[in-house]
Amino acid sequence: MYSRDLGVARGSRTPPGGGVVLHFVGLWPVSTSHQLVVCDGDETGQELLEQALRVMSPDVLGFGLELWHFDLSLENRRATRNEVVREAAAAMRETGLGLKAATVTPEITGDVGSPNRILREGIGGSVIVRTGRRIPGVTPPAHVVHPIVVVRMAVGDAYGADEGRTGSAGQAGEQAWRTERIDRSVCRSVAEYAFRAAAASGASVYGGPKWTVSTVYEGMLKEEMDAAASRHPDVVYRPTLIDAAYAGLIAESSASPLVMPTLNRDGDCLSDLVLALFGSIAGAESVLLALDDDMRPLVAMAEAPHGTAPSLMGKNVANPMAMLLACAAVLDHAAQGDAVVSGRAAAIRTATLGAATDGIRTFDLGGEASTSEVVDEVLRRLRGGGG
């Protein structure tokens, strides 16, 4: 475990659970006690994190912030046998806040596997929220109008399922099997969060699992959706089988904003499609939430929903928008009524989208700007440069 020094901090101490703290010090208008767990990652994912963290510097934010760095690179996860991932999750439970770079999940059976599953289970996560929205200045490849929010189950289902093979390897008689599980408590969190999000935004709750084929397993989520609908009678509720929901996605989003509660695997696939419909999978943030019984976040970890993009590594061309918006999202959760913190979160979001509006975009959004040039423009706006 170690901290990559970004040249914006002095002093360090070791937090409970290990890792390394970068403690921002100096004279700023507001003093805060916020600690943020930063999970370093792999390849282009790490490069994007380092660029995005430039907007979290205290001279930009106007207040101090502690960053607790944990090295979740594949090399270090292998060296520690995933202990660093468990320590990062423990630190997030303490601070309540996390920011994560994209990481490599090796394909080799018996290797360290996905750190995302360990983090989600380690913080007691139940919901992952990803919002597809129009990107200013970008014509989406599909006729999507209103935001589409995917509220995905964070744990269980196909991820971490028991699996194996029987029979002779490579022979026609070989069989593969998997035993999946979901908890009613997680289904309840997904359904209730979806309806509360819809009520807050004037959206409809749309979609669902394939409950007709799997009445016992997938039917559990549908039961909780129906129960949440009864608690929120003012929310428009259109339960739709997942395959039909894919087919009707574009037409439905033309009429009103949508909130779509899903199983874990369904939501993983659906959210990638939704973000791409709006122009780029790198155009929005992903937020993992651990919720209490009243649906209040106990832990929020923000990240970019895309992968490590090894083909873009070292080229300074990857889109930093998702990581910048992840920074804004984690500050939203840090604010807890603090107008200064929430104001800076809003400013980062406005500056990021404003840069896109004015054509400061990477190649995937039809622009010619480099990664660092986009972040430079966002910083200029945050420091009062307008635009």
We report the CATH number of the domain holding residue 53 as 3.40.718.10
Distance CA 65, CA 25 (A): 8
Which pLDDT value is given to residue 142? Answer: 87
Distance CA 348, CA 7 (A): 21
- The CA–CA distances, whole Å, from 29 to 60, 63, 128, 339, 341 equal 11, 6, 34, 13, 12
> Residue 150 pLDDT > 60, yes or no?
yes
Question: In the structure, what pLDDT confidence band is assigned to residue 33 with cuts at 50, 70 and 90?
Answer: low
Is residue 151 located within the same domain as residue 270? Answer: yes
Which pLDDT value is given to residue 387? Answer: 53
Q: By the 8 A CB rule, do 187 and 224 touch?
A: yes
> Residue 9 pLDDT > 60, yes or no?
no
Q: Residue 209 is part of a domain; what is its CATH number? A: 3.40.50
Is residue 253 located within the same domain as residue 151? Answer: yes
pLDDT digits (tens, 9 = 90+) for 211-224: 999 999 999 999 99
Which pLDDT value is given to residue 114? Answer: 92
Which residues have CB under 8 Å from 297's CB, separation 6+? 96, 289, 290, 291, 333
Residues 130-149, mean pLDDT to the nearest whole number: 92
Which pLDDT value is given to residue 372? Answer: 98
Q: Report yes or no on 343 lying in a domain.
A: yes
Which pLDDT value is given to residue 160? Answer: 81
Is residue 209 located within the same domain as residue 122? Answer: no
Between helix 339-357 and helix 321-335 the angle, nearest 10°, is 160
Is residue 385 located within the same domain as residue 343? Answer: yes
Residues 58-72, mean pLDDT to the nearest whole number: 94
Q: Which domain holds residue 270?
A: 141-160+178-277
- How many independent structural domains does the chain possess? 2
Q: Report yes or no on 113 lying in a domain.
A: yes
> Residue 2 pLDDT > 50, yes or no?
no
> Residue 302 pLDDT > 80, yes or no?
yes
Look at residue 373 and give its three-state secondary structure.
helix
Is residue 151 located within the same domain as residue 268? Answer: yes
Residues 372-386, mean pLDDT to the nearest whole number: 92
pLDDT digits (tens, 9 = 90+) for 315-350: 999 999 999 999 999 999 999 889 999 999 999 999
Residues 37-47, mean pLDDT to the nearest whole number: 98
> Residue 122 pLDDT > 90, yes or no?
yes
Is residue 349 located within the same domain as residue 374? Answer: yes
> Residue 32 pLDDT > 90, yes or no?
no
Share the mean pLDDT of the chain. 90
Which pTM does this prediction carry? Answer: 0.89
Is residue 261 located within the same domain as residue 311? Answer: no
Residues 67-95, mean pLDDT to the nearest whole number: 97
Question: In the structure, what pLDDT confidence band is assigned to residue 250 with cuts at 50, 70 and 90?
Answer: confident
Structural domain ending residue among the three candidates 225, 250, 277: 277
Which pLDDT value is given to residue 7? Answer: 29
Q: Report yes or no on 132 lying in a domain.
A: no
Which pLDDT value is given to residue 386? Answer: 62
